[in-house]
Structures are given as structure tokens and as C-alpha cells.
């Protein structure tokens, strides 16, 4: 049975090509109709202003609860959904949830934006920019409240994807390059992509240990962003030491377990409220 091989193959440590293909096929099959069966939820991970500690944004992160196999990691199912094309419908749903959520936060008085991971498959959809703007309008959320996160390594047809990003950006949606520094042509992309925000990959944050060598790449990315007048968000901030060092190096924002894990939307509101209380 296809669904069974999902778990059995996950347990294999070094799967062969055949194991991997079988697992992919099983996941692809399980993904079909998962949206209609209500198996997805969206969690939100706060992004904080490092200087003040204030929550300024939250990243929408998709969660899939399979009825038999439990939680399946996005790192496992997103690549499969990309190959099968399911990501188009799923991604649109995430976007709608996130935009409605940011509208609700703002209506409740929290000055937040929301960031949504968008896959290259979605950027190739002919009317993506128009659809995104329609979703914003219907929810009553300004374009400025949305950030679209793209990864540099994932571009397929660059001209089409860049055109979609330009359309979004000229309407006021901001563009972030996710996992910056891990793709194969980071610096080239910066000159070709319309971009507002660089997210420093968490592997570089994890290397920060108080030595100049450990902080070298994070520091270089922050400098580069400053020169290009981009905002930096450091990903995977887990310790006070990393947060302090990132702030000293000039990174405006941070995201990571130190501040919060990805949580349901009510908990983001609670974190914002607690912070306001602390200041008042
Ligand atoms: P990402 O966009 O780079 O998201 C950040 C990932 O790092 C999340 O993993 C988050 O839970 C994790 N993380 C955050 N802080 C820390 C930390 O302090 N330490 C560590 N070790 N990890 C931290 P998650 O939620 O498992 O998502 C994995 C990836 O799946 C995302 O990486 C993104 O590429 C993709 N993804 C998630 N949701 C979506 C979606 O709706 N659409 C698309 N296309 N991709 C998605
Ligand atoms: Mg992301
Ligand atoms: Mg990332
Ligand atoms: Mg990532």
C-alpha cells in the first residue's frame, strides 16, 4: 500500500534511488486531496526587531498532519509538491490564510507584516501577481503587509519569475531572498532580482561563536545588505550571544527559537501584547 511506504522509507537511513522514488510517489499520492481533507495548517514564527525586541513580522510555515502518519515535515513534502504541481493550489491556500491573518492582526491594532514562502512553480503561474493582489484587496490588507520569500537556488525560468516578482514589487509587496548564501549564484541574483530583504541562512548564524572567523559570512552578508540598502533578517537565532552579535554587526531583524518557535496565530498576538505591556 502506497501510504505505508511513506513511513517505512522514512525509517531507512541511506535510501537507494528506488526507495526515494517510491517514497516520493507515496507522498505525492497522499498529498492529492490533502487540502480538501483539511490536513494542512499554517503556523507563524515571529520575526523581531533585534534592537527593541519588538515583533515586527511573522513567517507563515505550512504544517501537514497526515491521518495515518502524523506530522510530515515541509522539508520532505514541499519538494514533492513542487514536482507534482500540487504546490500551486497548496501555496495559494497558504497565501490566502496568511493574508487574512495579517489583516486580522492589523485590525486588532498590531502593526505586523506576514512573510510567505513562494515556490518557483507558483511564480510561473501566468496570473500570480494579479491573483496575489486580488487576495490582498479582498482581505483588506495593504500590499506593504506582505513579504514574498523566494530561494535563489530554486529558480527555473528566471525571466518569467523575475517578471512576476517585479509586478508584485511595483504594487508594494516586498521580496525577500530566503536562505541567502546557500544557493549557487547568490551574488549574481542580487543584481537581477528585485529584492528588499536578505534572510541570512541559519547555517551561518549557527557558525557564530564570538570569533571573527565564525562570524565572517554573517558579517559579510550584513555589510553587503547595507551597501545595497536591503534589510537583513538572521534566521535560526537560538542564543542570546548570537542575537547580541548580530545586532552589533548591524542586522536589523532576527528569527529563531530564542524568540519563538512557529506557533498558532493567537500566540503571535499574545507575544505582541506582552511586548507592549513591557514597554508601557
Ligand atoms: P524556511 O523558509 O527557511 O523556514 C525556516 C525554517 O527554519 C522553518 O522550518 C523553521 O521552523 C525553522 N527554524 C526557525 N527557527 C529555527 C531555529 O532557531 N533553529 C532551527 N534549527 N530551525 C529553525 P520548517 O517550518 O520545517 O520549514 C522548512 C522549509 O519548508 C522552509 O524553510 C521553507 O523552505 C519550506 N516551507 C515551509 N512552508 C512553506 C510554504 O507554505 N510554501 C513553500 N513553498 N515552502 C514552505
Ligand atoms: Mg522562508
Ligand atoms: Mg529560510
Ligand atoms: Mg530553508
**Residue 49 and residue 35 in contact, taking contact as beta carbons nearer than 8 Å:** no
Supply 33's cell numbers.
486531496
Using the mean position of ligand 4's atoms as its centre, give its distance from the Cα of residue 257 in Å. 15
* pLDDT per residue as tens digits for the range 24-39: 899 999 999 999 999 9
Q: By alpha-carbon position, which residue is closest to atom 45 of ligand 1? A: 117
pLDDT at 209: 87
Q: Residue 248: which pLDDT band, with cuts at 50, 70 and 90? A: very high
Most informative mutation of 41, 61, 91 for ligand 1 (most atoms within 8 A of CB): 61
Using the mean position of ligand 3's atoms as its centre, give its distance from the Cα of residue 184 in Å. 15
Q: Is the pTM of the predicted complex or chain greater than 0.95? A: no
Q: Residue 2: which pLDDT band, with cuts at 50, 70 and 90? A: very low
Q: Which ligand is nearest to the CA of 63?
A: 1
pLDDT at 54: 96
Q: Is the CB of 94 under 6 A from ligand 1?
A: yes
* pLDDT per residue as tens digits for the range 67-90: 988 999 999 999 999 999 999 999
Task: Give the integer Cα–Cα distance in Å for 273 and 111.
Answer: 11
Amino acid at each position: 500500500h502506497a501510504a505505508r511506504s511513506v513511513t517505512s522509507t522514512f525509517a531507512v537511513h541511506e535510501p537507494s534511488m528506488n526507495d526515494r522514488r517510491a517514497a516520493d510517489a507515496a507522498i505525492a499520492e497522499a498529498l492529492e486531496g490533502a487540502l480538501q481533507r483539511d490536513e494542512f495548517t499554517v503556523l507563524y514564527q515571529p520575526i523581531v526587531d533585534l534592537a527593541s525586541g519588538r515583533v515586527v513580522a511573522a513567517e507563515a510555515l505550512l504544517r501537514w498532519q497526515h491521518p495515518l502518519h502524523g506530522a510530515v515535515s515541509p522539508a520532505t513534502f514541499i519538494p514533492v509538491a513542487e514536482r507534482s504541481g500540487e504546490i500551486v493550489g497548496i501555496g495559494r491556500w497558504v497565501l490566502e490564510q496568511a493574508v487574512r491573518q495579517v489583516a486580522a492582526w492589523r485590525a486588532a491594532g498590531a502593526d505586523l507584516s506576514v512573510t510567505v514562502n513562494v515556490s518557483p512553480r507558483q511564480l510561473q503561474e501566468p496570473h500570480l501577481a494579479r491573483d496575489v493582489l486580488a487576495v490582498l484587496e479582498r482581505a483588506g490588507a495593504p500590499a506593504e503587509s506582505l513579504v514574498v520569500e523566494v530561494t535563489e537556488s530554486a529558480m527555473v525560468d528566471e525571466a518569467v519569475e523575475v517578471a512576476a516578482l517585479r509586478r508584485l514589487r511595483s504594487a508594494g509587496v516586498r521580496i525577500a531572498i530566503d536562505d541567502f548564501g546557500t544557493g549557487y549564484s547568490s551574488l549574481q541574483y542580487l543584481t537581477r532580482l528585485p529584492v528588499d530583504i536578505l534572510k541570512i541562512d541559519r547555517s551561518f548564524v549557527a557558525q557564530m561563536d564570538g570569533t571573527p572567523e565564525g562570524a565572517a559570512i554573517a558579517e559579510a552578508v550584513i555589510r553587503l545588505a547595507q551597501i545595497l540598502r536591503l534589510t537583513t533578517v538572521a534566521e535560526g537565532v537560538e542564543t542570546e550571544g548570537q542575537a547580541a552579535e548580530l545586532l552589533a554587526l548591524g542586522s536589523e531583524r532576527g528569527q529563531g527559537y530564542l524568540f519563538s518557535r512557529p506557533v498558532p496565530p493567537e500566540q503571535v498576538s499574545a507575544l505582541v501584547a506582552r511586548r507592549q505591556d513591557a514597554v508601557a
